[in-house]
Amino acid sequence: MIKTRCAICDTFGNATLLYQARFPQGGVDSSVYAPRRKRDGVHYQMVKCKTCGLVRSDPIMGKTQLAKLYLKSVCDYTDKDENKPLRRTYGYYLSQWIKNYKVKKGSLLDIGCANGFFLEEALAQGFKKVSGVEPSRSAIQKAHPNVKSSILEGMFDEKTFPPEQFDAVTFFQTLDHVPDPNIFLQNCFKVLKKGGFIFAINHNIQSFPARLLKERCPIIDIGHAYLYDLHTMRLIFQKNGFSVLDVFRAKNTVSLNYFLQLLPLPFFFKSFLQTCSRWLNLDALTFPIYLGNLGIIARKPSSYEE
């Protein structure tokens, strides 16, 4: 376990305790880092910076241990037809991003791409070349053949790609998991071409569900090294040289089955609702809702803007 610092203020300590650590009795293994696992209340100690308000886990496991756990984590939500609502959510925002900011549809990199569903969507919306990086071998094995060969297994770092390779970089529910977001964003900056864009969606620690549910909120999770709000998300991008064009509350399209999983209800009542939804053949029903996410659109300055 290593101590963490505020990624914005670069300070150790100087933080208010939010929640004490809660670990599983059998110890931490790869199962608690599985994508979209059923939330179980397992998390590190959570603190909030007294200066900027950034929320972080402190202390956490070291990078080498974390990389091994993510490598072994099993991605099983793709078997439950959850790709369609995810693709619909991010595909909608992709189309708006392209339209509103005249994004060049050349090359796109998706970091933490899971089984590559967004890479498929980017190709469908006209990108000429797509690449992905994903630490979960299980997720990559479930990728569609037309994008599987474009996904690199492992953690994204400064050695993954040469400089200035991409017109666009995306990552969804990824930045929260990164133990050093400054290095991560600096590496994103390097692989972007001048004038290239970043589009990301992450949890919002100041959303209504997070403020209402507090420690019971699903985003209070061992996989999340940092949790951002609209203000701290803007600050971390600006700190690393990006021009922030927009930070906004993001809406998700979700299935009724996944929505019921997220509800902080007693097990027997939640199980009853899930059984009823399956019996009525409604579990695959999808609908848009503000679940507590935020989006950011940022840009690497072109040479004349620097």
Q: What is the pTM of this model?
A: 0.85
Distance CA 55, CA 131 (A): 31
pLDDT at 279: 77
In a domain, 30, yes or no: no
Residue 179's nearest CA partner among 224, 221, 220, 135 is 224
In a domain, 135, yes or no: yes
111 CB neighbour count, 10 Å cutoff: 24
Non-local CB neighbours of 273 within 8 Å, separated by 6+ positions? 260, 263, 265
In a domain, 50, yes or no: no
Non-local CB neighbours of 102 within 8 Å, separated by 6+ positions? none
In a domain, 251, yes or no: yes
In a domain, 14, yes or no: no
β-strands 192-203, 46-49 pairing: unpaired
pLDDT at 172: 94
Distance CA 6, CA 4 (A): 7
Distance CA 76, CA 155 (A): 20
pLDDT at 37: 57
Q: Yes or no: say if 133 and 154 are a contact pair by the CB < 8 Å rule.
A: yes
In a domain, 59, yes or no: no
Q: Yes or no: say if 121 and 87 are a contact pair by the CB < 8 Å rule.
A: yes
Total domains, the chain: 1
Q: Yes or no: say if 173 and 203 are a contact pair by the CB < 8 Å rule.
A: yes
Residues in the chain: 306
Distance CA 201, CA 72 (A): 24
Distance CA 56, CA 15 (A): 9
> Which CATH number belongs to the domain containing residue 90 in this structure?
3.40.50.150
H-helix segments, the chain = 63-72, 83-101, 117-124, 137-141, 145-148, 181-191, 208-213, 230-239, 256-262, 267-279
Non-local CB neighbours of 280 within 8 Å, separated by 6+ positions? none
Q: Which residue, chain included where needed, has tokens 């004490």?
A: 20
What range does the domain containing 101 cover? 71-305
Give the pLDDT of the chain (306 residues) as one tens digit per residue: 889 999 999 999 899 999 999 987 666 655 556 555 566 788 999 999 999 999 999 998 877 776 666 666 666 555 445 567 788 888 889 999 999 998 999 999 999 998 999 999 999 999 999 999 998 888 899 899 999 999 999 889 999 999 999 999 999 999 999 999 999 999 999 999 999 999 999 999 999 989 998 998 889 998 899 999 999 999 999 999 999 999 999 987 666 676 666 666 677 777 777 778 777 777 677 766 767 899 999 999 986 555
Rg (CA), the chain: 19
In a domain, 26, yes or no: no
pLDDT at 301: 95
In a domain, 295, yes or no: yes
Distance CA 85, CA 261 (A): 15
